[in-house]
Structure 1
């Protein structure tokens, strides 16, 4: 019987090639979207699962209250690690203090490379379950040791065995390679960690780190833990809540620090905190794209249902004859499901080929390294299951509908479609266009939000501004002569150092005092150490006062604040006022807010102070009269004279653009899926228009004989579809407004939902509808009426 179903299904496909093509094309494209989204979701949901104990690993974080606002940070004080070992050691299997992951210079003889690395305590490799290719996970027990990734080993030592060989970190610290580990996969938070150096070595690198060992208020470090096998994450998090509060003085208790554990299984998808509450993060995109995948696949199923039921009159006699010779309804249902499953199987084969072709483009847009999981049984189980479900969904309505025909009525020729028989098809077409219009409006608003934020004034000139991260002290030591050489070369207008790059604020401080401050206020400022030429290099814009000047020796005790800081301190005329921050500083000037952190949030109150001991970042303003290629070549030549660091630079405009990467990726993915949804909907409309034109062949012929024009016939065949598109618009517009208005509330700096977006979507939907159905409408209208009438 099954073989018979397959034969009949194949004959029907061959007999009706156009409809078969539309169904297979629609289903395969819908399945492509579903599989791509499924692979993307798999990658997102499996983030950090490379680490075998990821469900028991956590980062120690803290909530702190600043002027009534609770803020959450991953930065913790140095002594917290020792205190937690002392008080709660039995509750944890591993506790690992860690630096932040930064770029460092690694050198072996004359070979030098720049790689990201982290200083961590000896248990880190064991906690992260690194896959050691050489050596063991105990390789950080010696202060003069280092573990390197396979890619670093290849870059520094080629094919030679690196074990026991010496390399230097930042041209200062000689360390011996005690292990080589497999490069961490792209979907881990530690992907950029290309080497691990001992924590004890980190303590010796800078005097301020040694001074921080007993400082409970310097939040400059990280702490990772793995809880004991018998411990519960939530209970343990509540248990350690007041560990810092018990150690700080009464004056600092007003910040109410609350320590807690943030599990590794939440780092990637549940990373956002508002008011001390974990509000989500990228998990919203899992829900969103999961829904898009279901809807796009549903659109393809709707095409199949519509075309199958629309052609029901043509298959009515077939059903009548089969029933009259003994076929029962269950057998007919099996036959129609067989046809549906065969089409789905063919679509699945086409789909896999299309997915393989689309993956490079998809990975570029999504910033992923996804591959088809050919050898993964779960992948095949999911694909085959969802193909089966797709086939059953697509074939359910046609199978139940077609098998219900009464053989007597059909064979007598008295069977006619009911006056309401077309309503289910019309409802499905409306649903298709509703989904497509919601996606169109949503995509436009996402890109509009990105562009709105990109157009926000940033408070400085990004063009021609580049930065160099200084891994060693070489450039800082020779800063004065380096600056003079670069400016005299004509390639550069100005150079400055700063403790943070222009696109972030790496340091925060509190406890500042100023005239009129509320004594109960818990303040919080961004603080950036700079050299005197910082303002002229960046091109910041003054609202009041002046910049630092070498003509005034007292400027060493001066500060420049941004306008948000002036408002935060409640000062209408802050220039000349004194701020106490360890010592007394005089406010020299107020600048316009510079967008240094999230472009979607208000600028943070920030203080810029002179600092002669800084390194960190070298900021360079390139002369616009010189080509960038020539300027970079000149800068590199001067750079080589004063340091052995590899010449590596970043453009400020690229770094600023990177802040939009997440939203841009989401927008591009949404646009891609929107185009696919429109394509599938158009396939369905084309098929329906083809069928309607075929069904009304005789009517069209008679109308032409009676004098109907081509335009009149085109309007006759097109108006029903336009009405359905308009109904879809009426439903889609309020839905899209609701969803996108809710999405925009996530951003404090956001665009408005303009009326023209809906007008554009409406015009687009109607135009797409007319373009899709016009081909068949005009073709039918141009047909010879004599042949049309003879055809039936």
Structure 2
């Protein structure tokens, strides 16, 4: 019986191959798009979700009441107060992340370690999988260090051999070495903690021992708390909000509580993709999958309806309604399983490209689990709908031919094709808007000449000796015109410690609470970036208490003649303020990405070296300059092995990575979805011309011309596209306009773009059905009448 069912199923698939293959390929593509984006959403929202009781772990951070500025860090006194005042806090930990140190061992002269500074309490909140060593108190004393398994193997050849070994920091020769006490498994990729080593540093102890009154206004540690499983996190968030105010020492600070899974997309402004952007693709995947399911069901139900005569003959020969339903469900299941196999192949095929495009790790086993779960739900849903439809179809097959509806129009199939056309229009418009925004961003004047400017970063030199020697070497390179050392790097948001509301100026209103972007630089900054000075001049070497404002800072301060004005501002990285004389005003330029409006900025001299150099090279010799500099780096010092050279234009382009990915993904979705829609329309047109051939013959007999018949069909298909556009264009316009609101500087969605998308889709649809319509319109009516 199974062999017979298989034979019938594949015979009918081949007989109705256009409808069958369109439905199968459509469903496979819909599932192949849905599973990866669902995995992506799960991946991005599950950061650090692998820790035990991760749902009870929260990050505590601060917000300035007046300015609304976020300070991600706190101090030890906040941790102590939380423990004392809130019994719901079961455990807590403070740490400092994102630090790198140049180190060495007895056998390896240089290695860059990504450090996580913490105390032993860190393991109470974030338990690690220990490979070897002291798993109870690995950070018991100062300079105890825990290595990851990969780093232990790299440094000592084996994790077991690493325990008890020493790692020497090369910043200062008189600092004591670090002692390895344990080795842990490498942290997963979807973690907010990216480290090679966890160390109990003397710096942690120093900051923890500062006077408690001073600590209320001191922000250095990331603070995490682990709540009792029965605690009400919402109630706790309301109670801790005014903790600093109740202390009487820092009334301008409010505390906020954030689940650990939300940190990446709420506190990490430099995440390449926003949660809204990812959600947009998840919604697109759901929409596409639903449309392909609808299309699959209607195409298959239609060719079962075309077999009513065959089904009726089976009943006449003794088949029961139940047997017919089982047979049709079996045929439908065969098509579904073929689609699933094709979808699985497509998912595995695009996995490497998808992983590289999004820069995430995609495990095959996890992806397959997502696929199997989605497939199971999909299979059950389609078969359930199919069972109901086949029951009605079996009842219809029992009726005599004269009582069956032979002239019923394929309304559902037209609806399915219309829905898929609507989805295609959404994707086409989305891809077009992303393309226009990318074009706008790429051609937007940044306010400085970025051509020929190269960033040299990725090295670390606290003493200043290595960087000073490096700068001397670079100045001797013929291709290097000028270079500067500045604490500036294109980002999505200003670093918290570079943002200050403690700037004072003459005539300042008491109600003013403006925040200024503080940019320490040297005397060559303006020349390197070729900034346009509107008033005054840039400071010269040796001048210390000078400051240059941008246009926005002048506007915020309300200064009519700013040059020579004395303002008070914080001394960079010092808890003090000093008087600075305004030396000049520079034309506004984009320090941040175009998602942000230009900030009021203050540029001031700094004697500190920031390990961040910018080189202006001779036009057209960028590659030669990069080659020469790369040759010089190892000659200067071994610690420059990890240094990177990146054109500034590329740094700004990286800030638009989500747009680049969005354009590629929307373009693929638009093209394939439109192709599936066109195949569906082709199937509809084929069935319609076959079904209406008698009507066409009669029209021709009574005098209708071929052109009139062609226009009649074209009106129907054009109307179908217009119906799809009525729903799709407003939906896609609203979604993409909302997406564009994330940019302070953005393009508009012109009306001609909507009209162009609609016109283009209409033209492609009409070209798809043109051949069949012409064949039907030019057919011989006598032949049709004879066959009827």
Match of 1:113 in 2: 111
**1:510–1:522 Cα contact (<8 Å) kept:** yes
Match of 1:417 in 2: 406
Match of 2:186 in 1: 183
Match of 1:245 in 2: 245
More displaced 10-residue stretch of structure 1: 93-102 or 570-579 = 93-102
1:530 aligns with 2:521: yes
CA shift digits 1:468-512 (9 cap, x unpaired): 2442224x2355554343222213222222234354643222322
Match of 1:510 in 2: 501
1:545 aligns with 2:533: no
CA shift digits 1:511-532 (9 cap, x unpaired): 2221111234334222122222
1:586 aligns with 2:581: yes
1:318 aligned to 300, 304, 310, which one?
310
**1:693–1:717 Cα contact (<8 Å) kept:** no
Count of residue correspondences: 767
**1:698–1:788 Cα contact (<8 Å) kept:** yes
Match of 1:356 in 2: 348
1:607 aligns with 2:598: no
CA distance in 1, matches of 2:162, 2:98: 23
CA distance in 1, matches of 2:149, 2:213: 33
Match of 1:563 in 2: 551
**1:242–1:258 Cα contact (<8 Å) kept:** yes
Match of 2:151 in 1: 152
**1:78–1:218 Cα contact (<8 Å) kept:** no
CA distance in 2, matches of 1:777, 1:593: 61
Q: Give 1:51 shift.
A: 1.7
Gapped regions of structure 1 (runs ≥ 5): 274-280
Paired residue secondary structure (1:430): helix
**1:132–1:180 Cα contact (<8 Å) kept:** yes
Gapped regions of structure 2 (runs ≥ 5): 570-576
CA distance in 1, matches of 2:70, 2:395: 62
Q: How does 1:341-380 map to 2 (within 5 A)?
A: 341-373=333-365, 380=372
1:104 aligned to 101, 104, 111, which one?
101
Paired residue secondary structure (2:523): coil
Match of 2:163 in 1: 163
More displaced 10-residue stretch of structure 1: 586-595 or 645-654 = 645-654
CA distance in 2, matches of 1:375, 1:451: 34
CA distance in 1, matches of 2:322, 2:623: 75
Q: Give 1:761 shift.
A: 1.0
Paired residue secondary structure (2:418): helix
CA shift digits 1:316-354 (9 cap, x unpaired): 222333444565656544443332222112211222122
**2:473–2:632 Cα contact (<8 Å) kept:** no
CA shift digits 1:575-611 (9 cap, x unpaired): 2111012221111112233322342111222212111
Match of 1:133 in 2: 131
CA distance in 2, matches of 1:317, 1:357: 42
1:624 aligns with 2:624: no
Q: How does 1:762-781 map to 2 (within 5 A)?
A: 762-777=758-773
1:468 aligns with 2:468: no
More displaced 10-residue stretch of structure 1: 556-565 or 263-272 = 263-272
CA distance in 1, matches of 2:392, 2:2: 21
Q: How does 1:433-444 map to 2 (within 5 A)?
A: 433-444=421-432
Match of 2:331 in 1: 339
Paired residue secondary structure (1:644): helix
Q: How does 1:78-97 map to 2 (within 5 A)?
A: 79-85=77-83, 87-88=84-85, 90-97=87-94
Q: TM-score, structure 2 length as denominator?
A: 0.87
**In 2 relative to 1, CA 673–396 (structure 1 residues): closer, same or farther, beyond 3 Å?**
farther
**In 2 relative to 1, CA 340–131 (structure 1 residues): closer, same or farther, beyond 3 Å?**
same
**In 2 relative to 1, CA 417–376 (structure 1 residues): closer, same or farther, beyond 3 Å?**
closer
Q: Give 1:194 shift.
A: 2.4
Q: TM-score, structure 1 length as denominator?
A: 0.87
**In 2 relative to 1, CA 481–122 (structure 1 residues): closer, same or farther, beyond 3 Å?**
same
Q: Give 1:559 shift.
A: 0.6
CA shift digits 1:198-233 (9 cap, x unpaired): 2434566xx999799935434343222223455332
**1:115–1:194 Cα contact (<8 Å) kept:** yes
More displaced 10-residue stretch of structure 1: 401-410 or 15-24 = 401-410
Match of 1:278 in 2: none
Q: Give 1:6 shift.
A: 5.6
2:676 aligned to 664, 669, 680, which one?
680
Q: Give 1:754 shift.
A: 0.8
More displaced 10-residue stretch of structure 1: 759-768 or 221-230 = 221-230
1:226 aligns with 2:226: yes
**2:20–2:299 Cα contact (<8 Å) kept:** no
**2:633–2:640 Cα contact (<8 Å) kept:** no
Match of 1:756 in 2: 752
CA shift digits 1:108-127 (9 cap, x unpaired): 34442334332122222342
**In 2 relative to 1, CA 95–500 (structure 1 residues): closer, same or farther, beyond 3 Å?**
farther
CA distance in 2, matches of 1:565, 1:247: 34
**1:145–1:175 Cα contact (<8 Å) kept:** yes
Q: What is the root-mean-square deviation of aligned Cα atoms in Å?
A: 3.6
CA distance in 2, matches of 1:213, 1:779: 89
CA distance in 1, matches of 2:350, 2:64: 46
Q: Give 1:557 shift.
A: 0.8
**In 2 relative to 1, CA 641–6 (structure 1 residues): closer, same or farther, beyond 3 Å?**
closer
Q: Give 1:264 shift.
A: 0.4
Match of 1:457 in 2: 445
**In 2 relative to 1, CA 391–72 (structure 1 residues): closer, same or farther, beyond 3 Å?**
farther
Match of 1:197 in 2: 199
Q: Give 1:723 shift.
A: 2.5
More displaced 10-residue stretch of structure 1: 539-548 or 283-292 = 283-292
**1:530–1:614 Cα contact (<8 Å) kept:** no
Match of 1:25 in 2: 25
Match of 2:572 in 1: none
Paired residue secondary structure (2:306): helix
Q: Give 1:162 shift.
A: 2.2
Q: How does 1:687-766 map to 2 (within 5 A)?
A: 687-696=683-692, 718-766=714-762
More displaced 10-residue stretch of structure 1: 302-311 or 122-131 = 302-311
**In 2 relative to 1, CA 347–232 (structure 1 residues): closer, same or farther, beyond 3 Å?**
same
**1:465–1:538 Cα contact (<8 Å) kept:** no
